Amino acid sequence: MQLSRNTKISLAAFVAFDLLLIYWLATLFTARSEVAVVNQLNELGAIKYPEPFALTSFELTDQDNNAFTNEDFLGQWSLVFFGFTSCPDVCPITMSELAQTYRALQAQPDQALPQVVFVSVDPERDSIDGVREYVQRFDSEFIGLIGSEVETANIAAQFFVAFSKVDEGMVDMGHEMPSMPDMQVGEYMMNHNIHVSLVNPQGELTAVVRPPIRREVLARLYPLLTGQ
Residue-wise pLDDT tens digits, 101-110: 999 999 987 8
More confident residue, 203 or 46: 203
Where in the chain are the domains?
1-43, 45-226
Res. 9 pLDDT band, cuts 50 70 90: very low
Please say whether the beta carbons of 126 and 145 come within 8 A. no
Please say whether the beta carbons of 48 and 207 come within 8 A. yes
- Tell me the per-residue pLDDT of 132-167, one tens digit each, with 9 for 90 and over: 999 999 999 999 999 999 999 999 999 999 999 886
SS3 category, 53: strand
pTM above threshold 0.85: no
Query: Chain-wide mean pLDDT for the chain?
Result: 81
Q: Is 98 exposed, middle or buried (0-12, 13-18, 19+ CB in 10 A)?
A: buried
Report d(CA 187, CA 166) in Å as an integer.
10
Taking alpha carbons only, the member of 150, 4, 134, 35 closest to residue 81 is: 134
Quote the pLDDT of residue 161: 94
Q: Is the pLDDT of residue 81 over 90?
A: yes
Report whether the peptide linkage leading into residue 88 is cis, meaning its omega lies within 30 degrees of zero. no
> Helices 5-43 and 215-226, interaxial angle, to 10°?
160
Taking alpha carbons only, the member of 222, 228, 178 closest to residue 78 is: 222
Please say whether the beta carbons of 142 and 58 come within 8 A. no
Least confident span in 17-26, 34-43, 45-54, 105-114:
17-26
Q: Is the pLDDT of residue 209 over 90?
A: yes
SS3 category, 8: helix
Return the CATH fold of 45-226.
Glutaredoxin (3.40.30)
Res. 44 pLDDT band, cuts 50 70 90: confident
